[in-house]
Every structure is written in C-alpha cells, then in structure tokens.
Amino acid sequence: MRTLRALLYAALALPLALTGLVLVLCGLLAGGALSVTPLGPWLLALTVRGALALGDLQRALLRALLDVRIDAPPHPGGGTGAFGWRRAVLGDRAGWRAVGCALAAPLTAVPPLAAVVVGYAYGVMFVLHPLLKRWNYITVREPDGSTRHVSLEIGGVELDSWPRWLAVVAAGVLLLWLAPRLVRWSLVPHRLLLAGLLGPDAAARRIHTLEETRAQAVDDAAATLRRIERDLHDGTQARLVGLGMHLAMIGELIAADADRERLLEVVATARSNAQQAVADLRHLVKGIHPPVLDQGLDTALATLAADIALPVAVTVDLPQRPSPALESIAYFCTAELLANAAKHSGAAGAEVRVRPYENGLRLSVSDDGRGGAVVGGGSGLTGLLARVRTVDGTLTCDSPAGGPTVVSVELPYR
C-alpha cells in the first residue's frame, strides 16, 4: 500500500506542478503588465493567494499519500477591508515563498515520474517481452536499401531469440524490484523543496516555539502557585490553626489549674503539630528550590539518588557549573525520571550521567526496566519536555519494548 501511494503521488506531482506553474506564471505576468493600473496589484494578490491555496493542496497530498506532514505557515495579519487584505497578502513572506515553490516544483517533480516510467513501465515491458515482441519493434534500414523489423537490439545484438529473452526478462524483474526504491529516492528533492518553501520559515518556527514555550512557562508557573496555595491551605495552615487552638487550650487548662497529665498531653499534641508544620514547610520549599542545589548539581543528584528505592549510579562531569535555572531543571528532570523508573519500569538499577556537550550539558537517565516509555499520551515525559523547552532544551526518549530505557535531556548554557 505504501508503494502504491508513492507511485500515485509520483504520477500526480508533475501534472499538479505544471498546472500551478502555468497559473502562477500567467498571474504574475498579467499582474506585472497591468501594475501601472489599479487592476495589477489585485491580480498579483490573487496570484499569491492562489499559490498559497496550491501549497495547501500540495501539503494535503503529501500528508495523504506519503504521510509527510508540513506545518502550514502562519496566517498573515492585516487591516480590515479589501485593501487591508490585499496589503497583507502582498506583504506576506509565506505567500511569495509559495509562489517560488510553484515556479520551481516542476523541476523536482520530473524525476519521480521518470522513475515510474523507467522502473515500472519499462520493467513490465521487459518482463513481458516474449509476448510483446511482435508489437514492440523498430524498423531498421539496411545499407542496400532494404528494411527489416527488430524487436529489441542492444549493442548490435538482437534479443529476439529464446535464450536471449532471458536477459531482457531478468532486466525487467530487476527494474521492478528497484522501482519502489527509485521512486522513493527520486521523491526526496521534491519533498525537501515543498518542506522548505511551503512550511514556516526559520523565523516563523522560532516565533512559534517561543510563543509555545512562553505559554507553557506561564501555565507551569500558575500550576506551581496553585499547588503552593493548596499545600499551604490544606496542610501547613490547618496545622498552624490547630497549634493556635491547642495553645489557647493550654492557657485555659493552666487558668483552671487542670490536671498535669492532661496539660502535658495537650502540650505534646501542640508540639507535634508544630513539628509537622515545619516538615510541611520544608517539603514545600524543597519542591520550589531544593536547598541541596546550593552545594552543586553533583551533590544534589547524589542526595536525590540516595532517596530512591532503586540502586542508582550517578556520574557528574562538568568543567563549569551551570546557571541555577539549568541546575534546577536538571534536578527536577532527574527526580521525575528516577521516580518513574522506580514505580513503573520494574528496573533493577538505574544510571544518571551529566556531561558537557557543545555549549551546554547533557543529562542521561537510563534504567534496565521493561521499556515502552513514550513522549506524549499523558505521560510525565510531556511535562518534562515542556519544562526543558523553556530554555531551548531538547528531550529524547529511546525505550524499545523490553528495555532498556534511555532519556536524554540537552540544556544549552545560553
């Protein structure tokens, strides 16, 4: 099915590209010729808009037949009304890149169709040569003026007898075997052209990434504030209220000259509430910024590994200390990954390695568990990916079924 879809796309790419070339070229020429009149800019705007529509069709065809997804460029903004629309379309870089794609697409659409003809058409013709030789022939004129029919001739050797048919049939079988690969390889330049000109450019992708990471950072900050408020309200605040009530009770008991045992019991309860409130506050502060990070990432990760119910080997080899923000991200990523390994992987051990890479650090957390971890689908890896992207970091997960699982986080220093 995949081969059939690639064959269909290769057959459709050139006609679609030629149609787009003719329409866009005619629109540009007409718009340019009439540019001194009010009609010219409108023709150019319609041509650019048509190129964008053709790009939408190209992306849809790629997605449907080759399962190649190209993100659509951002929609141009502009003023209201017809003139605002025209100004926005004519000033849209994505529109003019689509025009360039329409003009260049026929050049890259020819090789796939040629691969189809060579691989499939000639392959079938060669395989069926013993049956088609009576109809597939050329007329050769001899030096004496006479003519003769030759079905197939290579290097002066006629392939029209039984032993020689085998070479033609073998060549046809080889072409049919190579045809899917030829089509697939010949489609690479066309796919690269469409991806480069019909998708968002580097600046648009960068802006989109920054907008996305900013939104994720805002959501993460809001979620953190809600968690802190909830923990303070449901935990520490309730214990401090209980502590105040017990202190008031102690005062009443002293005023009433109550029994000493009763008084000591209330004091013990108040002290227990105070201790638990302090523990809750320490846990809350640790969730915001672990104090052990002040001693360095190596000490923090070693302390973290010691609290995991799993043997963990920690190796930190950094020539310079990262910024506090990167240390915090690396720490919380390690904490989440080790917790997942201890709870879900069934691993017997794990390893944490931090080492430099280019202008940043690479954190690798591996375990020998059952594997099967993926980024997305509601897993904690999605949240970690959002966290590392706020500093232009990347997260990759290699977790085949049966293990092992290796999660790598790269954080740039800049």
Q: How far apart are CA 218 and CA 226, in angstroms?
A: 12
Above 50 in pLDDT, residue 260? yes
pLDDT, tens digit, 9 for 90 and up, residues 180-228: 888 889 888 998 888 888 877 666 666 666 666 666 666 666 666 676 6
The candidate with the shortest Cα–Cα distance to 386, out of 155, 218, 205, 183, is 218
Above 60 in pLDDT, residue 42? yes
Q: What is the pLDDT of residue 77?
A: 59
Task: Give the dihedral of Cα atoms 339, 343, 344, 348; nearest 10 deg.
Answer: 90
Contacts of 65 (CB under 8 A, 6+ apart): 5, 6, 8, 9, 12
Q: How far apart are CA 110 and CA 187, in angstroms?
A: 9
Burial class (CB in 10 A: 0-12, 13-18, 19+), 167: middle
pLDDT, tens digit, 9 for 90 and up, residues 359-411: 888 888 888 887 777 776 555 677 777 778 777 788 888 888 877 888 888 88
Within 10 angstroms of residue 135's Cβ, the number of other Cβ atoms is: 7
Mean of all residue pLDDT scores within the chain: 77
Contacts of 178 (CB under 8 A, 6+ apart): 119
Which DSSP helix (H) or strand (E) runs through 333?
helix 324-340
Q: How far apart are CA 284 and CA 294, in angstroms?
A: 17
Above 60 in pLDDT, residue 58? yes
Provide the percentage of residues in the chain whose pLDDT is more than 70.
Answer: 76
Task: Give the dihedral of Cα atoms 326, 327, 328, 334; nearest 10 deg.
Answer: 110
Q: What is the pLDDT of residue 157?
A: 47
Higher pLDDT, 207 or 115: 115
Length of the chain measured in residues: 414
Pairing label, strands 147-150, 138-141? antiparallel
Within 10 angstroms of residue 4's Cβ, the number of other Cβ atoms is: 10
Q: How far apart are CA 58 and CA 101, in angstroms?
A: 10
**Measured between alpha carbons, how far is residue 21 from residues 94, 109, 225, 346 in Å?**
17, 12, 55, 58
Q: What is the pLDDT of residue 22?
A: 92
CATH of domain 292-412: 3.30.565.10
Q: What is the pLDDT of residue 257?
A: 72
Q: What is the pLDDT of residue 195?
A: 86
Which pair of structure tokens corresponds to residue 356?
Answer: 């430099």
Q: How far apart are CA 307 and CA 327, in angstroms?
A: 19
Nearest 5°: phi and psi at 392?
65, 30
Q: Provide the pLDDT confidence category of residue 177 given band limits of 50, 70 and 90.
A: confident
Q: How far apart are CA 183 and CA 9, in angstroms?
A: 10
pLDDT, tens digit, 9 for 90 and up, residues 22-37: 999 998 898 888 888 8
Which pair of structure tokens corresponds to residue 45?
Answer: 């705007």
Higher pLDDT, 32 or 161: 32
Above 60 in pLDDT, residue 246? yes
Q: What is the pLDDT of residue 156?
A: 47
Q: ∠ CA(195), CA(374), CA(309), 5° rounding?
A: 150
Q: How far apart are CA 68 and CA 15, in angstroms?
A: 20
Q: Provide the pLDDT confidence category of residue 143 given band limits of 50, 70 and 90.
A: low
Provide the percentage of residues in the chain whose pLDDT is more than 90.
Answer: 3
Our separate counts of H helices and E strands in the chain read: 14, 9
Give the type of residue at 352: V
pLDDT, tens digit, 9 for 90 and up, residues 320-353: 888 887 888 888 888 888 888 887 777 788 888 8
Q: What is the pLDDT of residue 323?
A: 81
The candidate with the shortest Cα–Cα distance to 172, out of 132, 138, 112, 135, is 132
pTM: predicted TM-score of the whole model, two decimal places: 0.53
Above 70 in pLDDT, residue 131? no
pLDDT, tens digit, 9 for 90 and up, residues 283-322: 666 556 677 777 888 888 888 788 787 888 888 888 888 8
The candidate with the shortest Cα–Cα distance to 74, out of 58, 51, 57, 93, is 93
Give the type of residue at 189: P
Q: How far apart are CA 24 and CA 3, in angstroms?
A: 31
Q: Provide the pLDDT confidence category of residue 107 given band limits of 50, 70 and 90.
A: very high
